[in-house]
Homo-oligomer: A and B are copies of this chain.
């Protein structure tokens, strides 16, 4: 049986910063958003949260990596979990500064904890230091989740 989409509009509730971090920490992947040649760019990446930072490791385009190494680069990071049938779930959006992880101990630990999901060279660890964290939850009021 094909499930039927529930088209009733969902009530949206803003997440607290604490809730947003909890959801980000429990998620294992999201999307990093950056500017490339003055154009918006996005890439799915797996991540971890440590010490109030989002850590990603991925084969980002060399220009992006270069940009992160050369100067403070503003990026956004988004994770969500939205049920396409029930239209409920949550989304968290972080805006922050991306910087290379250079401390050898951190590199070692993150490199071990953050295994690449893809068969590409992923030799760059980047930490995103959040400046703005927002999020919403889409609630089915009839069956609160």
Contact = CB atoms under 8 A, between A and B. Distances in A.
Chain copies in complex: 2
A23 interface: no
A9 interface: yes
A120 to B, nearest CB: 7
A49 interface: no
A50 B82 CA distance: 23
Contact of A119 (B9, B28, B31, B44): B9
Interface residues on A, range: 35 or more
Contacts of A39: 74, 76, 95
Interface string A26-46: 011101011100111111101
Contacts of A33: 33, 40-42
